[in-house]
């Protein structure tokens, strides 16, 4: 008996970011798969696929945003249902990866929760993970399955370059963000400055910015980071830059978490523009005048297409989704 088979891709969305999922499907020219997602009276999550997934390459799109624990669990249940329905490959598409900041032990008796999330996804049965701008690259090493690390760098840098074409300084909000700032500076042909920041070990989401290295007087400043959460770091950084003579300050980040009253704090701190992507949905009623939201739909769609067709993902990003090494730091061996 001889059977000629064809590959089939199917895309499904959780409840965290359906607008982005629909956009990705539109870019690929397909419709989202039919799925029933509901809650029992107790709060337990129920998932059932309303069409056959047997032998298909399935992509489950879910941002780990608020309520983060529920969104992670929802994706796990969806993955488990696909495996039990004989999907050929299950790919978790995670535009924003939950618990990513807990990627190491900073104090005794702490968890490494980013690793725990990786373990949960793998135990559920995921065959591959696609994520956008992980907080640290080492998170890829928490998985024993392939991880495709996407980046919104080109989207953000292209917008910033057209909006602020000259007299720009790229600013890292802390020493750990210098590599990201160098990537932006390479795109924008701009100098780099960075701030010294100290986090309170006894309090969550509290930091102090206390010094600046670099020349910003008379310049436009662009603060770059992977995410903006409570807005405290950004508000402190904006105040310091303006006090040092910066003419204006903009912020570019891949993920707009915006916990609590973050947007109100950011609106009042004096920044010129806040640029993020739609990796996390931001409802219209929360969009302050300074906020600009760019779409990662096209790059996620291109990556899904490359994964499905067994093509190179790094070529889509021209290698920028890998660790960056500044050109002038390269040396030749004798």
Closest C-alpha among 120, 187, 202, 190 to residue 157: 187
Q: Which of 6, 105, 183, 197 is catalytic?
A: 197
Instruction: Judge whether 53 and 33 are in contact, CB under 8 Å.
Output: yes
Instruction: Judge whether 216 and 246 are in contact, CB under 8 Å.
Output: yes
Name the residue with tokens 């956008």. 132
Cβ-count burial of 2 within 10 angstroms (0-12 exposed, 13-18 middle, 19+ buried)? exposed
Q: Give the count of beta carbons closer than 10 Å to the beta carbon of residue 324.
A: 15
Residue 7 falls in the annotated catalytic set: no
Kindly list the distances between the CA atom of residue 67 and the CA atoms of 85, 121, 126, 147, in Å, as whole numbers in the listed order.
27, 18, 22, 24
C-alpha distance across the termini of the chain, in Å: 60
Cβ-count burial of 270 within 10 angstroms (0-12 exposed, 13-18 middle, 19+ buried)? middle
Instruction: Judge whether 81 and 73 are in contact, CB under 8 Å.
Output: no
State the greatest distance between any 2 C-alpha atoms of the chain, in Å, as a whole number.
Answer: 77
Known catalytic residues? 197
């Amino acid at each position: 008996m001889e059977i000629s088979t064809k590959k089939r891709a199917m895309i499904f969305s959780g409840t965290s970011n359906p607008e982005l999922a629909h956009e990705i499907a539109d870019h690929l020219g397909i419709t989202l798969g039919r799925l029933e997602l509901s809650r029992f009276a107790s709060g337990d999550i129920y998932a059932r696929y309303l069409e056959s997934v047997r032998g298909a390459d399935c992509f489950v799109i879910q941002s780990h945003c608020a309520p983060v624990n529920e969104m992670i669990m929802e994706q796990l249940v969806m993955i488990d249902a696909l495996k039990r329905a004989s999907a050929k490959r299950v790919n978790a598409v995670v535009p924003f990866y939950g618990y990513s900041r807990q990627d190491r032990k900073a104090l005794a008796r702490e968890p490494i929760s980013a690793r725990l999330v990786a373990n949960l996804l793998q135990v559920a049965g995921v065959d591959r993970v696609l994520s956008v701008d992980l907080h640290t690259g080492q998170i890829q090493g928490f998985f024993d399955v392939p991880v495709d690390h996407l980046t919104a760098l080109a989207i953000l840098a292209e917008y910033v370059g057209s909006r602020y074409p000259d007299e720009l300084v790229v600013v890292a909000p802390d020493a750990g963000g210098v590599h990201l700032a160098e990537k932006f500076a390479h795109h924008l042909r701009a100098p780099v400055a960075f701030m010294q920041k100290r986090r309170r070990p006894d309090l969550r989401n509290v930091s102090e910015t206390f010094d600046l290295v670099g020349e910003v007087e008379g310049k436009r400043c662009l603060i770059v980071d992977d995410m903006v959460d409570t807005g405290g770091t950004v508000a402190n950084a904006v105040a310091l830059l303006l006090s040092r003579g910066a003419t204006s300050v903009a912020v570019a980040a891949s993920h707009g978490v915006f916990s609590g009253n973050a947007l109100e704090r950011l609106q009042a701190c004096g920044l010129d523009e806040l640029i993020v992507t739609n990796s996390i949905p931001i409802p219209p009623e929360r969009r302050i005048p300074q906020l600009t939201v760019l779409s990662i739909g096209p790059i996620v769609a291109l990556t899904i297409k490359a994964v499905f067709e067994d093509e190179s993902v790094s070529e889509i990003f021209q290698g920028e989704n890998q660790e960056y090494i500044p050109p002038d730091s390269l040396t030749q061996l004798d």
